Structure formats: C-alpha cells, structure tokens
Structure 1
Amino acid sequence: MTSSPTTGDASSTTMPPRRRHGMRPSAPGEGSIKEKPGFNAGEDAAALRKAMEGIGTTEKTLIDILTGRSNAQRQLICKAYQDVTGRTLVDDLEGDTHGDFEDILVALVTPPAQFDCDEYIRATKGAGTTDRTLIEIFASRSNKQIKALSDAYLAKTGNSLIDSLKSEVSGDYGKALIALAEGKRDESANVDMAKAKADAKVLYEAGEKKWGTDESKFIDILSHRSIPQLRQMLVEYKSLSGKTLQESIESEMSGKLEDLLVAVVKCVKSVPAYLAERLNKGMKGMGTNESTLTRILVSRSEIDLLDVKAEYKKMYGCSLYSAAETSGDYGQTLLKICGEKD
C-alpha cells in the first residue's frame, strides 16, 4: 500500500505512535481458539462422520472438534472428510443439523475470507440491504482482510466487490463504504504530528466551523489515513474543537453515513471495544440477534476475541460468557468459542 506523503517542512516530525490521552497503542490481539497440538485430520474426520451416521447426531462431538481446532486445521479436516466419504463436510452438517446450530458449524468450517464473503452476500441479497452488517465488516477489517474478501467474492460470483457495492449503496454513505472497501488505508506505523494537526483542522473547518458539512473531507481522511495517524488526529481534534470527532460527526451528520463514520472512529480507537458494543446490542432487547453473535465470535475467534471479552467486561460489568443469552447446542457452541469463563 502507498503511504500518504508527509510534508517536508521543519514542523513536520515523524514519530512512532505512543500512548496519549487514553489512546491505546496498536497491539496484536489474542484469539480464543488455538491450533490443537497432536492434531490428526483423519481421526477428526472419522469422528465427525461417526457422529452424524445412523439415527440421531452426536452434537457434543461436532461441537468439541469444530471449536477445538484452528480454522486451518478445520480445512484439513474438510479435505480428509471429503477424501473418505466423497461428500463435503458442509453438506453433511447442513443435512444433519438445523437453524442457528447449523449456521455456526458451517461458519466454523468456512475459510475466514469466504465467511466474510458469505456474510456480505447475505447482507445484500433480497429486498433491501442489511447496512449494519456492511458497516461492521468494512469498518473493522484490515486492508488484508478486505482484499481477501474481495478475492473470495470475485472467485464466487465472477463480479468485483466494488461493482457490487455500487449497485447496492448510494450517496455519501455509498462513497464512504466504497472507499473503505477499496482497502487503500495507509499501513505505516509512524505518526506525522503536523499532518495530524492539519487533518484535525481540515475536519473542524469542514464540519463544526462550516455552515453545512463537507462530507468528502471526512470520508477521505477516515478511510485512507493509518490507524496510528488517525488516533493522533483524534487527540488533535479534541484539542482544537473542544469536542470529540465522534460528537462532531453525530451533530453534523445523520442516517447511515453517520453510523458508518462513527463506527470507523470507534474502530480507530479499539476494534475489540466496537465489537463488544455490537455484541451487547445483539443480545439486548427483544430476542437475540444470532447472526451477529455468530459472525463476530467466529470471525474474531483467532484474531482478538479475548480482547473483545475483556472490553465487554470493562464496558458492561459482566462477562460475555455469562451475558450470552442462548441455549441448546447453539449456545454451547458459542460458549466453547468464547473460551473459559472470565
């Protein structure tokens, strides 16, 4: 990826990201699912086959194996299963399980990029678009994840992801979503202090200081600057305007564009905290949004789910494990993905 050029005058200093005003430095996350030592794909495939043969299905075996192996190991199990049976594991899971339990088991045996692709297709098919899902995916994924999603979409449909989005979304919201889906965010770890101040000034003058809002400035900066650079810009913005950038977006914008840009700002500060909030919203109110729980827990299980759990406990005062208001085989699968009680 090409980094945005920095200015060359003496006031522009480049320095590594640092902790400041509560901003957390980037750090590798930690998933709840690890590779299983002594893994044997053939043995696992045979155990899964046995669990689904005959009358009834041994759900515990399905849960224990599929939540106790990394996704890479699960792909080897899928291959071994098909080599022996001539059938795909996905087809047999869909034939022997149903509902949310089926959905989460299929999600577990799907490669991550393909799973994101499937979630994107689900969000855009039929009447209307599930914008909250699109916002969650494109606000929280890295360039690498977005490129993998785009490649998976092209392989599955023969069409480009960007062309698909252009037919689904419009207006400034559409422009912002497409800018994120292009995956062109600068990936430099350095922070240009002068540029952070300049960007904060641009956004202040495009929003709070202006009659009417220049949305294009917000879209460009929030979709292309690096995460460390944006974290520093948030500090500079608060210093300049006396309000947080999120507060300004919420007062200056509305609708889906506001939702998307607020999500981006939240992910700049902490993707795990943003996803913890999404999980909480998915579990409160009338009924549980199982598709949101499945998508977040499965997609983050090897990335930063332990961080999501920690943020959830900090934000809501209870563990994600205890808050998951689900039951049955689906609930047991969620809890196994979550890992130990905290």
Structure 2
Amino acid sequence: MKFGIMASHQYPHADDLGKHLSDLFGTVETAAELGYDSVWTINHFGSNLATPQPISMMASLIPRTGEMTLGTGILLLPLFHPVHVAEEFATLDHLSGGRVVLGVGAGYRENEFAAFGVDPDSRFRRLDESLRLIRELWTGEVVNHDGEFYPLHDATIGITPLTPGGPPIWVGAGGKKAVRRAARLGDAWYAPGNSPSKRFLPEHVAVYDEALVEFGKDSGAVERPVGVELYCAPTNEQAVEEALPHARTEYSTYAEYPALRWQRDRFDELVVNTLMLGSPEYLIERISALRDQGFNHVIFRPGWLGMPADKVRASLRLFAAEVFPAFR
C-alpha cells in the first residue's frame, strides 16, 4: 500500500500567500522524510480561494520531495491545449528524473468554462481527444490529426519525455460513464473517496474492472489510487476536535459552487461515511476496507483551511509511525 498527500494549496484571498506556501513546502519536506510515496497539486481557475497553479507548484516541489512521485490531482484538461500539456509534462518528467504523473479530469465549475470560452458540454470530448493527442505527441513522432477541437498538421513537441511513452496518466472520474472512460484512456482511475454513499466505491470499482477487461487491460496490473480526507491523532475524539472545524470551513467554501452545494446539505453524512478523522487503530480499520476493495494507493488531504502547520505535521508523523507498518 502506498500513501500520498494532497499539497492542498488553497487559501483565503486575504491571507499571506508567501507564509502559507512556506508552511506547505515544509510539510511536503516532512512527508518526504517520513517516507510518504507521493504528493499531488490542485488546479482551479478564478477560484473563491487563492489557488497557485499546479504545474508551477510541481516544479517548485521537485527539489523538496526526494523520491516521491509528483502529480496533478487533478489538471482540468479541457481548459488546456494538449500540445501545451505534452510539452510541460515532458519537461517536468526530465526535471524530476521520471517521477511525475499526469492526473486529469473534465472539470465541473461553470465559471471556469465560461472564463475560457469552453462549452462545458464539450468537456468529455475534449478530454478524450486531448489524451489521445498527448500520448501521440509523447512518442516524438510527427502527428497529423484532423480533430474536432485540436487539429494538428506535421506537429511535434520540442522535448520528448524521459519516461518511455511518457508519464503515467491517471483519470479522475465520478460517474459510471466517466469511470469507463478512465479505463479506456488512462493508466489508472483516480477514484474519489468523498461520496457520502457507502455504495459508491464498490459499485464503481465493479464498473472499472469490467471496463478494463473490455478494453484488453490487465486489471491486476493497474495502480489503484483513491483520494480521501484523513487526519490522525492519538484518539478519535482528539482527531475530530482538531480537524472537524477546519474541514467544515473548507467544505462550506466548496459548497459555494452550484455543483457542490450538496456537500453543505449532506456534510453530516460526509463526516460519518467519508472523513477519516481518528486514531491510528481507527484509520487502520478504514484503510483496510479500502485495501479489501482493491485500492493500493491512498492519497489524502492532511489538513484543511486554517489548520496550523504543526497540527498537520503531527498527524503525518503519527500516521507514518503507527499506520504505515500495518500496510508495508
């Protein structure tokens, strides 16, 4: 079992961004020293939180992460041109010594599509076409493509990836059609573990496994990442006391977007079924359930809006000391 963290670089606009980034870099360095396997950056545009952009953040994190994998969790691919993404991630692949993952998704915030003049109804077709083009461009061969959105003629990129064939591509997806798309186009499905429904993950894992077989992929060989919300303290009560107010604040902020209003209305369900706030023993039990469903890479947000960096790092240390050994 691998364990990774979200860099979670989202902050109130009025705050000191430099101070937050300094704290974040220190937290990531702590995670690297503790043996965490990966770190993931966030992508949003025109956000109600100050959100530094993910490609720049990944470049900043490369020298701070040791041997950790770095990825986007996730990049809003329909808002980027595939040539741009192919070049940027080929560059990051070299800068990191082959440690990057291109994590992508279709997006959901209406204001982001409006800002770029992109019809949101086209986002899945754009995602599909972009991923196919990126893989072609990463070969270094000349690409001719008469596509709906990104026609290319005699196109090549200036730098091919260090990793043969290019970095792995993970596709974030929530709906069953999107999960099938992840099986067809991606090297992994980046599963969202924040549904209030206990049925969500097992039902969608079944869809993914069936689609892998349909598309001729080895279901036993793919990486199985899942994103969760997690905080570790000596007791369940202490974890809830320290983390829940900050998680509630962050989820209330997300709920300002129409597509996520349900998170405010159903926050109590999220607390019970999704948020992993507890002791090492409790977290071992919850993560064992994810392992039993086939997941082998747990990626979690280690803190929420306003949480002090020392609390975040204490959680990471306790988790590494007492939970890692149960899975490694």
Superposition TM-score, scaled by structure 1 size: 0.31
Q: RCO higher in 1 or 2 (8 Å CA, sep ≥ 6)?
A: 1
More strand, by proportion: 2
Larger Rg, first or second structure (1 or 2): 1
| TM-score between the two structures when normalised by the length of structure 2 | 0.32
